[in-house]
Amino acid sequence: MTANPTAGLLKAKAAAPEARPAPVPLQCVVNGRGYDLVVDARTSLLDLLREQLGLTGAKKGCDHGQCGACTVHLDGRRVVACLTPAVQVEGRQVLTIEGLAGPIGELHPMQQAFIDHDALQCGYCTPGQIMSAVACVAEGHARSRDEIREYMSGNLCRCGAYVGIVAAIEDVAARSRET
Protein backbone atom coordinates (compact mmCIF):
# COMPACT_ATOMS: atom_id res chain seq x y z
CA MET A 1 0.00 0.00 0.00
CA THR A 2 1.26 3.52 -0.86
CA ALA A 3 1.87 5.78 2.12
CA ASN A 4 -0.30 8.90 2.25
CA PRO A 5 2.08 11.91 2.14
CA THR A 6 -0.66 14.29 3.36
CA ALA A 7 -1.12 12.30 6.56
CA GLY A 8 2.57 12.74 7.36
CA LEU A 9 2.33 16.47 6.84
CA LEU A 10 -0.74 16.79 9.02
CA LYS A 11 0.94 14.81 11.78
CA ALA A 12 4.01 17.06 11.65
CA LYS A 13 1.80 20.17 11.74
CA ALA A 14 -0.19 18.90 14.72
CA ALA A 15 2.99 18.14 16.61
CA ALA A 16 4.59 21.54 15.90
CA PRO A 17 4.57 23.67 19.04
CA GLU A 18 2.51 26.86 18.79
CA ALA A 19 4.74 29.91 18.48
CA ARG A 20 4.34 32.05 21.61
CA PRO A 21 5.07 35.74 21.38
CA ALA A 22 7.60 37.05 23.85
CA PRO A 23 6.08 38.59 27.02
CA VAL A 24 5.80 42.37 26.87
CA PRO A 25 6.48 44.85 29.68
CA LEU A 26 3.53 47.09 30.44
CA GLN A 27 3.21 50.11 32.67
CA CYS A 28 -0.21 51.60 33.27
CA VAL A 29 -2.42 53.14 35.93
CA VAL A 30 -5.59 51.33 36.95
CA ASN A 31 -8.01 53.05 39.31
CA GLY A 32 -5.29 55.49 40.33
CA ARG A 33 -2.73 52.80 41.14
CA GLY A 34 0.40 52.40 39.04
CA TYR A 35 1.27 48.92 37.75
CA ASP A 36 4.51 47.60 36.32
CA LEU A 37 3.54 44.39 34.57
CA VAL A 38 4.65 41.76 32.11
CA VAL A 39 1.93 40.48 29.82
CA ASP A 40 1.44 38.04 27.00
CA ALA A 41 1.15 40.25 23.91
CA ARG A 42 -2.13 38.51 23.01
CA THR A 43 -3.86 39.34 26.30
CA SER A 44 -6.94 41.52 26.20
CA LEU A 45 -7.42 44.34 28.67
CA LEU A 46 -10.37 42.41 30.07
CA ASP A 47 -8.26 39.33 30.82
CA LEU A 48 -5.51 41.51 32.26
CA LEU A 49 -7.96 43.14 34.65
CA ARG A 50 -9.78 39.98 35.65
CA GLU A 51 -7.05 37.35 35.60
CA GLN A 52 -3.90 39.27 36.42
CA LEU A 53 -5.11 42.16 38.58
CA GLY A 54 -8.07 40.44 40.23
CA LEU A 55 -10.46 43.21 39.20
CA THR A 56 -13.50 41.16 38.27
CA GLY A 57 -16.02 44.00 38.08
CA ALA A 58 -15.80 44.20 34.30
CA LYS A 59 -17.66 41.13 33.07
CA LYS A 60 -16.99 38.78 30.18
CA GLY A 61 -20.32 38.50 28.42
CA CYS A 62 -19.64 37.82 24.77
CA ASP A 63 -15.85 38.44 24.50
CA HIS A 64 -16.60 39.77 21.02
CA GLY A 65 -17.39 43.45 21.56
CA GLN A 66 -21.13 42.96 21.26
CA CYS A 67 -22.63 43.19 24.75
CA GLY A 68 -20.81 45.99 26.63
CA ALA A 69 -20.52 43.99 29.86
CA CYS A 70 -16.77 44.62 29.89
CA THR A 71 -16.94 48.42 29.45
CA VAL A 72 -14.22 50.40 31.24
CA HIS A 73 -12.77 53.86 30.72
CA LEU A 74 -9.44 54.36 29.00
CA ASP A 75 -8.12 57.91 29.47
CA GLY A 76 -11.70 58.93 30.26
CA ARG A 77 -13.32 57.34 27.21
CA ARG A 78 -15.41 54.19 27.28
CA VAL A 79 -13.98 51.12 25.59
CA VAL A 80 -14.91 47.46 25.49
CA ALA A 81 -12.07 45.80 27.35
CA CYS A 82 -12.51 42.47 25.56
CA LEU A 83 -11.48 44.01 22.22
CA THR A 84 -8.75 46.25 23.65
CA PRO A 85 -5.31 44.64 23.57
CA ALA A 86 -3.67 45.04 26.99
CA VAL A 87 -0.54 46.39 25.31
CA GLN A 88 -2.56 49.36 24.08
CA VAL A 89 -2.91 50.70 27.63
CA GLU A 90 0.83 51.32 27.95
CA GLY A 91 1.29 54.63 29.79
CA ARG A 92 -2.46 55.19 30.02
CA GLN A 93 -5.14 55.46 32.69
CA VAL A 94 -7.78 52.78 33.11
CA LEU A 95 -10.85 53.21 35.28
CA THR A 96 -13.00 50.23 36.19
CA ILE A 97 -16.17 49.97 38.24
CA GLU A 98 -14.00 49.23 41.31
CA GLY A 99 -12.45 52.70 41.03
CA LEU A 100 -15.65 54.64 40.45
CA ALA A 101 -16.77 55.14 44.04
CA GLY A 102 -15.24 57.94 46.10
CA PRO A 103 -12.16 57.44 48.27
CA ILE A 104 -14.15 56.79 51.44
CA GLY A 105 -16.50 54.42 49.75
CA GLU A 106 -19.41 56.73 48.94
CA LEU A 107 -21.12 55.59 45.77
CA HIS A 108 -20.76 57.48 42.52
CA PRO A 109 -24.04 59.29 41.72
CA MET A 110 -24.61 56.88 38.82
CA GLN A 111 -24.22 53.86 41.11
CA GLN A 112 -26.71 55.41 43.53
CA ALA A 113 -29.12 56.24 40.70
CA PHE A 114 -29.05 52.61 39.49
CA ILE A 115 -30.09 51.55 42.99
CA ASP A 116 -32.72 54.28 43.31
CA HIS A 117 -34.29 53.44 39.94
CA ASP A 118 -34.08 49.67 40.36
CA ALA A 119 -31.98 49.55 37.19
CA LEU A 120 -30.83 45.96 37.54
CA GLN A 121 -31.99 42.43 38.11
CA CYS A 122 -29.20 39.82 38.00
CA GLY A 123 -26.57 42.58 37.90
CA TYR A 124 -24.28 40.89 35.39
CA CYS A 125 -24.45 43.73 32.89
CA THR A 126 -24.52 46.43 35.58
CA PRO A 127 -20.80 47.34 35.90
CA GLY A 128 -20.60 47.82 32.14
CA GLN A 129 -23.88 49.71 32.06
CA ILE A 130 -22.72 52.07 34.81
CA MET A 131 -19.31 52.75 33.23
CA SER A 132 -20.98 53.39 29.91
CA ALA A 133 -23.67 55.54 31.55
CA VAL A 134 -21.08 57.74 33.27
CA ALA A 135 -19.35 58.27 29.93
CA CYS A 136 -22.66 58.85 28.15
CA VAL A 137 -23.48 61.74 30.51
CA ALA A 138 -19.93 63.14 30.34
CA GLU A 139 -20.07 63.07 26.52
CA GLY A 140 -23.28 65.12 26.59
CA HIS A 141 -25.23 62.30 25.02
CA ALA A 142 -27.95 62.08 27.64
CA ARG A 143 -30.22 64.99 26.74
CA SER A 144 -33.31 62.88 26.07
CA ARG A 145 -34.51 59.32 26.56
CA ASP A 146 -34.09 58.61 22.86
CA GLU A 147 -30.54 59.90 22.93
CA ILE A 148 -29.73 57.85 26.02
CA ARG A 149 -31.15 54.74 24.34
CA GLU A 150 -29.08 55.40 21.23
CA TYR A 151 -25.80 56.04 23.04
CA MET A 152 -26.34 53.14 25.44
CA SER A 153 -27.28 50.73 22.66
CA GLY A 154 -23.92 48.95 22.91
CA ASN A 155 -24.80 47.76 26.41
CA LEU A 156 -27.20 44.85 26.42
CA CYS A 157 -29.23 43.68 29.40
CA ARG A 158 -30.63 40.19 29.16
CA CYS A 159 -32.92 40.88 32.12
CA GLY A 160 -34.50 43.78 30.26
CA ALA A 161 -33.90 46.39 32.96
CA TYR A 162 -33.76 49.11 30.32
CA VAL A 163 -36.57 51.29 31.74
CA GLY A 164 -34.73 51.70 35.04
CA ILE A 165 -31.35 52.13 33.33
CA VAL A 166 -32.62 54.98 31.15
CA ALA A 167 -34.37 56.59 34.14
CA ALA A 168 -31.17 56.43 36.21
CA ILE A 169 -29.11 58.05 33.46
CA GLU A 170 -31.78 60.68 32.84
CA ASP A 171 -31.78 61.50 36.56
CA VAL A 172 -27.98 61.89 36.81
CA ALA A 173 -27.84 63.90 33.57
CA ALA A 174 -30.55 66.26 34.79
CA ARG A 175 -28.74 66.79 38.09
CA SER A 176 -25.40 67.37 36.36
CA ARG A 177 -27.02 70.11 34.23
CA GLU A 178 -28.25 71.85 37.41
CA THR A 179 -24.77 72.08 38.92
Taking the complex as a whole, the smallest distance from the CB of residue 113 to ligand FES amounts, in Å, to 15
Q: Which residues are CB-neighbours of 91 under 8 A, at least 6 positions away? A: 27, 28
Using CB under 6 A, list all residues that contact ligand FES. 60-63, 65-70, 80, 82, 120-126, 157-159, 161
Taking the complex as a whole, the smallest distance from the CB of residue 175 to ligand FES amounts, in Å, to 23
Taking the complex as a whole, the smallest distance from the CB of residue 75 to ligand FES amounts, in Å, to 18
Taking the complex as a whole, the smallest distance from the CB of residue 56 to ligand FES amounts, in Å, to 13
Q: Which is nearer to ligand FES, 31 or 132 (CB)?
A: 132
Taking the complex as a whole, the smallest distance from the CB of residue 158 to ligand FES amounts, in Å, to 4
Q: Which is nearer to ligand FES, 23 or 123 (CB)?
A: 123
SS3 letters across the chain = CCCCHHHHHHHHHHHCCCCCCCCEEEEEEECCEEEEEEECCCCEHHHHHHHHCCCCCCCCCCCCCCCCCCEEEECCEEEEHHHCEHHHHCCCEEECHHHCCCCCCCCCHHHHHHHHCCCCCCCCCHHHHHHHHHHHHHCCCCCCHHHHHHHCCCCCCCCCCHHHHHHHHHHHHHHHHHC
Q: Which is nearer to ligand FES, 35 or 124 (CB)?
A: 124
Q: Which is nearer to ligand FES, 82 or 97 (CB)?
A: 82
Q: Which is nearer to ligand FES, 106 or 150 (CB)?
A: 150
